[in-house]
């Protein structure tokens, strides 16, 4: 895989994700038009992002992987157990004009990883969800990999969910999705760090220095 863009979410003071230039790549991060009520904050203490209000939020960048075959990666952290329904993960092949995309995310209500598609707002679960009880401060390197109709979800470097689906074939854009209807802050709920976009071509170095140092997973 070749790295197209990365973001370590490093800031001096807390700031909105939207309008931010990624660590590498062009950006900027943009709020999805269909989640205009959602907010994502970059936390200056931990250098990671979290849902900062009680609405679904999608942030994406327009950097092109050069085709529809690519991976979207991040480091997921369960900071604390969310007080109410919550989810966080990565998205790919995102249609900027509609709620259409693939997503790999962890769900609070079921303590389970889900690989899903959303087509004009309608959710469909792909493959067999992967249940995993996480303790506070647990981290997992996650990867949503899309190769043609093969859609895969990796957790901590292991393929946990896979499916064949051809509903979304356009390259679209890539990014993150967070949701938390409980009390939100940088020290509660779920957080994402070390985000990266990697295309299917070879020759690029793996991204995510913190992910590598913590987990030994690219």
Distance CA 31, CA 138 (A): 28
| Mean pLDDT within 144-153 | 98
Of 85 and 29, more confident:
29
Residue 109 in tokens = 């209500």
| pLDDT (tens digit per residue) in 165-184 | 999 999 999 999 999 876 66
The overall average pLDDT reported for the chain is 90
Question: Which string of DSSP letters, residue by residue, matches 67-107?
Answer: SS-EEEEEEEEE-S--SS-EEEEEEEEE-TTSS-EEEEEEE
| pLDDT (tens digit per residue) in 25-61 | 999 999 999 999 999 999 999 999 999 888 899 999 9
Give the SS3 label for residue 171. coil
Judge whether 7 and 26 are in contact, CB under 8 Å.
Answer: no
The answer, yes or no, to whether residue 69 has pLDDT greater than 70, is: yes
Position 200 confidence tier, pLDDT thresholds 50, 70, 90: confident
CATH architecture classification, 2-215: Sandwich (2.60)
| pLDDT (tens digit per residue) in 112-135 | 999 999 999 999 999 999 999 999
pLDDT at 216: 36
Residue 211 in tokens = 């992910």
Domain boundaries, the chain: 2-215
Angle among Cα 86, 90, 91 to the nearest 5 degrees reads 110
């Amino acid at each position: 895989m070749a790295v197209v863009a990365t973001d370590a979410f490093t800031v001096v003071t807390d700031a909105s994700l939207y309008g931010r230039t990624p660590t590498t790549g062009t950006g900027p991060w943009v709020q999805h038009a269909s989640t205009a009520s959602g907010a994502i904050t970059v936390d200056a203490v931990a250098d990671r992002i979290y849902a900062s209000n009680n609405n679904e939020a999608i942030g994406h960048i327009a950097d092109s992987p050069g085709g529809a075959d690519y991976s979207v990666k991040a480091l997921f952290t369960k900071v604390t157990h969310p007080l109410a329904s919550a989810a966080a993960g990565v998205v790919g092949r995102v249609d900027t004009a509609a709620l259409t995309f693939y997503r790999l995310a962890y769900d609070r209500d079921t303590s389970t990883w889900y690989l899903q598609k959303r087509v004009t707002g309608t959710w469909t679960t792909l493959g067999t969800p992967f249940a995993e009880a996480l303790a506070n401060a647990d981290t997992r390197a996650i990867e949503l990999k899309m190769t043609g109709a093969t859609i895969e979800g990796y957790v901590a470097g292991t393929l946990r969910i896979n499916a064949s689906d051809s509903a979304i074939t356009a390259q679209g854009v890539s990014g993150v999705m967070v949701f938390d209807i409980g009390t939100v802050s940088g020290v509660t709920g779920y957080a994402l760090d070390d985000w990266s976009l990697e295309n299917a071509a070879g020759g690029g170095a793996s991204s995510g220095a913190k992910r590598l140092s913590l987990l030994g997973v690219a």
